[in-house]
Amino acid sequence: MTRELTHYVGGAHVDGTSGRFADVYNPSIGEVQARLPLASGDEVRRAITVAETAQVQWGTTNPQRRARILNKFVELVYANMDELAALLTSEHGKTFPDAKGDIQRGLEVIEFCVAAPHLLKGEFSDSAGSDIDVHSMRQPLGVVAGITPFNFPAMIPLWKAGPAIASGNAFILKPSERDPSVPLRLAELFTEAGLPDGIFNVINGDKEAVDVLLEDPRVKAIGFVGSTPIAQSIYATAAANGKRAQCFGGAKNHMVIMPDADLDMVADALMGAGYGSAGERCMAISVAIPVGEKTADALVAKLVERIATLRVGDGMDETSDFGPVVAQSAKERIEDYVQIGVDEGASLVVDGRGLTVPGHENGFWVGPTLFDNVTETMRIYKEEIFGPVLCIIRAKDYEEALRLPSEHEFGNGVSIFTRDGDTARNFSSRVQVGMVGINVPIPVPIAYYTFGGWKASGFGDLNQHGADGFRFYTKTKTVTTRWPSGIREGASFIMPEGS
Ligand code: NAD
């Protein structure tokens, strides 16, 4: 039977009243398993009112007490990990261990946010003027919103909610319509952990809901993650409405393979980084750049060998390496790109189209796909495919391999495999990409560092989580103090100097 989902506002589930719904699929069997209400403008405005009221007390709650609630939340999520991961797999399609990783990475940011009492400390200067001291403080913004993509339905909402809540804001999450059940369960667990009602809210919806979050002056900041055209337009609208915004977009991540690299290590790395989670990761490697023909020929042979052993299947089947893609429309888009690559003249070495999985004939399957001899002008190189499709561009030398990711429109992640420290150092210093890996498949997010791409992969000037998360969700106030000390200088009409 199809489940009917809700919103979560003020510490409780709230039925949708707009009369508009979206279908939530199980991508492994291609069937609708839930109906999701899409919020009207009035429903969003009501949630903002609830959040605004709740924030007043939360914003002045001692940060250590706020942190204790986050600690309890982490405990509860661990205790419910298997149930959450299975729910995530059923709507997203990624494998059960991968779903656990999605939740775990989100929790790591919450664990970092438990350090809020330290991270929110201001600065103090003694005697900035005669008998004058100056200090700064970080204060919450008020009501803030997060708009998140389908591909990490636990991790990315927690990246946004953690620093927002720990800093004393009330948070409204607008998760993806494709896999909203885990965010709703996380909302229940926040309440169970003792978070006051109205501090973590989930509004399900589409553009109509997002437009209200962007327009309502009570929402002070927008954190977005998703595709580049939407990221760019949300950033522009939020800025035009005087809001703080950080909007992260799409990617085309390259891996450079130098002739001295260990090619077995590289081929293993490319299996996970290229095809894990069906390539639906913003940090997936979608372009491999072997340097020199000899490197390229040897690498392609090793990739073909390994691809033949990959198993695509239901996410709960422990023998599956990766699961279905999220939607029928995603499957069609990816298969269209494969045809575009063929038409553009790339060599299709492994074709993942037309895959069926016995017992799951209606699932949204795309098998691992490999293109060789891709060139810079092809659409399959320039555009984000967001599926299990790996393109090989053969570079003649290091400088060409460095130029390709540096000049690409996107600048999220990149990696290089080499045994030479000099080359690695030169690469990490010169490449025009936000996150760099050296002999690792891709730099994964680390909670206590920041995460964010360059160029068309990120709009705004602060990254996600790490110290930037706290900067984004707080405003700084500077206080200048002098206590009467008996000195009387009389009125002065000139600008006082620092000295
Ligand atoms: P998407 O852009 O379709 O949707 C993201 C969010 O925006 C969803 O909540 C969706 O409901 C909302 N949305 C969609 N259209 C909208 C519109 N016209 N107006 C307002 N809101 C709208 O992205 P997706 O398909 O869910 O996610 C995949 C994309 O996310 C890929 O491009 C991927 O690279 C990117 N991504 C980037 C990062 C990063 O850190 N840079 C991380 C994860 C995913």
CA quadruple 218, 220, 224, 228: dihedral sign? positive
Angle, vertex CA 173, rays to CA 172 and CA 178, nearest 5: 155
**First and final CA of the chain: distance in angstroms?**
74
**Whether residue 237 is found in the same domain as residue 261:** no
**Whether residue 300 is found in the same domain as residue 431:** yes
- Mapping DSSP to helix (H, G, I), strand (E, B) and coil, where does residue 399 land? helix
**Whether residue 177 is found in the same domain as residue 271:** no
Q: Which CATH number does the domain housing residue 259 bear?
A: 3.40.309.10
Containing structural domain, residue 352: 253-438
Q: Do residues 178 and 92 lie in contact, with contact meaning Cβ atoms separated by under 8 Å? A: yes
- Mean pLDDT, rounded, for 344-368: 98
Does residue 277 line the site of ligand 1, with CB under 6 A?
A: no
**Whether residue 335 is found in the same domain as residue 238:** no
Q: Do residues 385 and 366 lie in contact, with contact meaning Cβ atoms separated by under 8 Å? A: no
Is 443 inside any structural domain?
no
Does residue 262 line the site of ligand 1, with CB under 6 A?
A: no
**Which of 204, 227, 386, 446 to mutate to test ligand 1, by most ligand atoms within 8 A of the CB atom?**
227
Does residue 457 line the site of ligand 1, with CB under 6 A?
A: yes
- Which token pair is 183? 């965010």
Helix (H) or strand (E) holding 31: strand 31-37
How many whole angstroms separate alpha carbon 366 and alpha carbon 13?
Answer: 36
Q: Is 337 left (phi over 0), alpha (psi -120 to 50) or beta?
A: alpha
Instruction: Judge whether residue 497 has pLDDT over 80.
Output: no
Separation of CA 418 from chain center: 28
pLDDT digits (tens, 9 = 90+) for 332-345: 999 999 999 999 99
**Whether residue 240 is found in the same domain as residue 268:** no
Q: What is the pLDDT of residue 495?
A: 84
**Which of 20, 150, 208, 281 to mutate to test ligand 1, by most ligand atoms within 8 A of the CB atom?**
150
Helix 207-215 to helix 41-59 angle (10° resolution) is: 50
**Whether residue 16 is found in the same domain as residue 149:** yes
If pLDDT is split at 50, 70 and 90, which confidence band does 492 have?
Answer: confident
- Mean pLDDT, rounded, for 224-239: 98
Q: Which CATH number does the domain housing residue 38 bear?
A: 3.40.605.10
- Which token pair is 182? 């885990």
- Which token pair is 172? 């409204």
**Whether residue 277 is found in the same domain as residue 161:** no
Is 70 inside any structural domain?
yes
- Mean pLDDT, rounded, for 179-200: 98
Strand order in the sheet with 31-37: 3-4, 31-37, 21-26
What's the domain count of the chain?
A: 2
Query: What are the DSSP E strand ranges found in 249-380?
Result: 253-257, 285-290, 347-350, 369-372
Choose the weakest-confidence range: 256-265, 409-418, 486-495. 486-495
**Whether residue 317 is found in the same domain as residue 228:** no
Q: What is the dihedral of CA 420, 427, 453, 451, to 10 degrees?
A: 40
- Which token pair is 126? 């003694």
**Whether residue 103 is found in the same domain as residue 171:** yes
The alpha carbon of 124 and the centre of ligand 1 are apart by a number of angstroms equal to 41
Does residue 282 line the site of ligand 1, with CB under 6 A?
A: yes
Residues recorded for the chain: 499
- Which token pair is 84? 């959450």
Choose the weakest-confidence range: 139-143, 466-470, 483-487. 483-487
Is 488 inside any structural domain?
no
If pLDDT is split at 50, 70 and 90, which confidence band does 487 have?
Answer: low
CA quadruple 141, 147, 149, 155: dihedral sign? positive
Is 132 inside any structural domain?
yes
> What is the position in ligand 1's atom list of the atom closest to the CA of 231?
2
Instruction: Judge whether residue 489 has pLDDT over 90.
Output: no
β-partners of residue 37 are: 21
Q: What is the CA radius of gyration of the chain?
A: 25
- Mapping DSSP to helix (H, G, I), strand (E, B) and coil, where does residue 138 land? strand
pLDDT digits (tens, 9 = 90+) for 19-60: 999 999 999 999 999 999 999 999 999 999 999 999 999 999
Q: What is the pLDDT of residue 442?
A: 87
Is 448 inside any structural domain?
no
β-partners of residue 395 are: 291
**Whether residue 123 is found in the same domain as residue 36:** yes
pLDDT digits (tens, 9 = 90+) for 373-424: 999 999 999 999 999 999 999 999 999 999 999 999 999 999 999 999 999 9
pLDDT digits (tens, 9 = 90+) for 73-108: 999 999 999 999 999 999 999 999 999 999 999 999
Q: Please spell the DSSP secondary structure of 140-178, one letter per residue.
A: E-SEEEEE--SS-TTHHHHHHHHHHHHTT-EEEEE--SS
- Mean pLDDT, rounded, for 440-450: 92
Helix 96-113 to helix 63-79 angle (10° resolution) is: 170
Is residue 282 among the annotated active site residues? yes
CA distances from 342 to 275, 338, 373, 394 (A): 20, 6, 11, 17
Residues 6+ apart with CB under 8 A from 424: 416, 418, 438, 439
Instruction: Judge whether residue 486 has pLDDT over 80.
Output: no
- Among 282, 279, 277, residue whose Cα is nearest residue 315: 277
CA distances from 27 to 256, 283, 352, 370 (A): 33, 22, 17, 23
If pLDDT is split at 50, 70 and 90, which confidence band does 236 have?
Answer: very high
> What is the position in ligand 1's atom list of the atom closest to the CA of 226?
30
> What is the position in ligand 1's atom list of the atom closest to the CA of 233?
19
Could you say which of 438, 471, 494 is where a domain stops? Answer: 438
- Mean pLDDT, rounded, for 352-360: 97
**Whether residue 268 is found in the same domain as residue 242:** no
Is 489 inside any structural domain?
no
Q: What is the pLDDT of residue 499?
A: 55
Is 376 inside any structural domain?
yes
Is 129 inside any structural domain?
yes
- Mapping DSSP to helix (H, G, I), strand (E, B) and coil, where does residue 255 land? strand
**Whether residue 304 is found in the same domain as residue 240:** no
Q: How many CA atoms lie within 13 A of 151 on its CB side?
A: 18
Instruction: Judge whether residue 210 has pLDDT over 80.
Output: yes
Location of structure tokens 């298997």: 82
Could you say which of 438, 465, 487 is where a domain stops? Answer: 438
